[in-house]
Amino acid sequence: MATSRICVPGQRLNRADDKHIGGKGTYSRNGFIYSSVLGYWEERPTNDNTEILISVHTGETQTVIPSIDDIVTARVTNVNPRFCKCEILSVGTTPLCDVYRGLVRKEDVRATEKDRVEMYRCFRPGDIIIARVLSLGDAQSYILGTAENELGVAIGMSEAGVSMVPVSWCKMQCPKTLNEEFRKVAKVRPEYIQTVHQG
Amino acid sequence: MAGMELLSDQGFRTDGRKPNELRRIRFKKGVFKQADGSAYLEQGNTKVLAAVYGPHEIRGGKGKALHDQLLINCQYSMATFSTQDRKRRPRGDRKSLEMTAHLKQTFNAVILTELYPKVQLDIYVEVLQSDGGNYCASVNAATLALIDAGIPMKDYVIACSGSYIRDTPVVDINNLEESSAGAEIIMAILPRCEQIVFIEMNSRLHEDHLSPVMDQVMTGCKDIFNILNQQVRDELCKKSAQDRIVDSG
């Protein structure tokens, strides 16, 4: 029955006991789970099958904002010796409807030999990078970090304006001019590429 | 107002309503494409447009950002042609600024602000035609716009006004009753849990009469809620039925 599956904000969905937990589009108050958006009821057992996750999904994609520990995709806009600025394009696999400003500081670029990092040998404007949100930062922008093997430049633009092929963890080669340029290259996980392509 | 009774001996008001009767409510969600959520609402002759943008990055003065919750930015304005006498300034006068503050306060209480730290949500309300109950219509329209935008809320917020005329509590008062009757009570509530998020009273009312008027306004709010909720559900139901037809080819 379609009507029974429709939820409106403030509608009581279930008791919030040890069997049921609220997911997306819900909140709990006084021991009950309530819907917080207009959408459809969804019930799914959790991974370990001990609890039932109740969520309300709307037809459209939920508005997401970057939060701490999220993996984000960003485009580099500005590089200087201390940090590089970028605009965050998507969180995980969900594209953002509005760009958010991010910042990668010099000391967050890689995990080892932090003091020998040179920003110009890691990022260039136009690169697409994968990074982790370290903190929500000061009032200005989100602080991002790439100090992991899987994080760094995913798509690097060469001086000739072509996207480059990675040759090592710190170098990329331009297929047009065969010039090698320095980058903090990300070891992109295959499943990540898959989800991005599907999305 | 010589010879004109706000409540006739037969128990009818100037516009022919019973004391506990609401004006006709019509609304439409999603009237704008550019906004993330929008709604148009009519309560009798009061007509209001509301648009919601966001959540998005803080614009204009990063210092306003709240590190642990959403910043709600409201703007209330009345069209220059909305009142009997043409208005000079659509917004920025004292009355609009007060209304803006009230709307902001109301929606801060009901939106789940802790879900979106450091970002901003804009709520714009424009009164196209004013016939009393501007605050109420604005709140109701903005609620619908927020639902349309998919912003998580605790509940609907529904606002309604009321007054006390000739020993009778009346509900949803129009401009004439607002300007010539005694006190006006405005309430915004969460209809399901009956919590009051906003209450305002203009001019004086005897203490004994306060609770009957509040009860009547509360009932009015719940009636408005039922009307809005019914239509919101019906629309989604219709939409999902249509989607199913499209999906099945």
pLDDT, greater one: A79 or B91: A79
The shortest CB-CB distance from A139 to any of B62, B116, B240 is to B62
- The per-residue pLDDT for range A77-132, each reduced to its tens digit, is 999 999 999 999 888 888 887 788 899 998 888 888 888 888 888 899 988 999 99
Asked if B156's CB is within 8 angstroms of A139's CB, the reply is no
Q: What mean pLDDT do residues A48-59 have?
A: 81
Nearest-neighbour CA in chain B from A101: distance (Å): 8
Asked if B67's CB is within 8 angstroms of A136's CB, the reply is yes
Nearest-neighbour CA in chain B from A120: distance (Å): 28
**Does residue B2 surpass a pLDDT of 70?**
no
Asked whether B136 and B43 are in contact (CB, 8 A), the reply is: yes
Six-digit token pair at B195?
Answer: 């919590």
Residue whose token pair is 């939920």: A62
Asked if A65's CB is within 8 angstroms of B119's CB, the reply is yes
Asked if B233's CB is within 8 angstroms of A8's CB, the reply is yes
Q: What mean pLDDT do residues B60-83 have?
A: 84
- Dist CA A142 CA A190 (whole Å): 26
pLDDT for B239: 86
Cβ-based contacts of A59 with chain B (< 8 Å): 239, 243
Give the mutation candidate from B36, B69, B153 for the A interface (greatest A CB count, under 10 A): B153
Give the C-alpha distances (Å, rounded to integers) separating B52 from A90, A169, B49: 22, 45, 10
pLDDT for A131: 92
- Dist CA A101 CA A98 (whole Å): 10
Strands (E), B3-148: 25-29, 37-43, 46-57, 71-78, 119-129
Asked if A29's CB is within 8 angstroms of B154's CB, the reply is yes
Nearest-neighbour CA in chain A from B186: distance (Å): 22
- Dist CA B109 CA B37 (whole Å): 19
Nearest-neighbour CA in chain B from A162: distance (Å): 31
Six-digit token pair at A59?
Answer: 């037809």
Six-digit token pair at A155?
Answer: 């798509």
**Does residue A178 surpass a pLDDT of 70?**
yes
pLDDT for A49: 78
Buried b (16+ CB within 10 A) or exposed e, B30-44: ebbeebbbbbbbbbb
Cβ-based contacts of A98 with chain B (< 8 Å): 54, 56-57
> Does the CA dihedral B1-B4-B7-B12 come out positive or negative?
negative
pLDDT for A157: 86
pLDDT for A193: 64
The shortest CB-CB distance from A65 to any of B55, B112, B237 is to B55
Beta strand pairing call for B168-171 and A26-29: unpaired
Six-digit token pair at A20?
Answer: 């049921």
The shortest CB-CB distance from B236 to any of A6, A25, A140 is to A6
Six-digit token pair at B28?
Answer: 């439409």
> Helix or strand or coil: residue B128?
strand
- The per-residue pLDDT for range A2-47, each reduced to its tens digit, is 445 888 999 888 888 888 888 888 898 888 999 998 888 888 888 7
Asked whether A123 and A76 are in contact (CB, 8 A), the reply is: yes
- How confident is residue B62, by pLDDT bands cut at 50, 70 and 90? low
Asked if B119's CB is within 8 angstroms of A25's CB, the reply is no
Please state the φ and ψ torsions of residue B85, each to the nearest 5 degrees: -95, 135
- CA-nearest residue of chain A to B228? A8
Q: What mean pLDDT do residues A139-152 have?
A: 84
pLDDT for A196: 57
Asked if B156's CB is within 8 angstroms of A2's CB, the reply is no
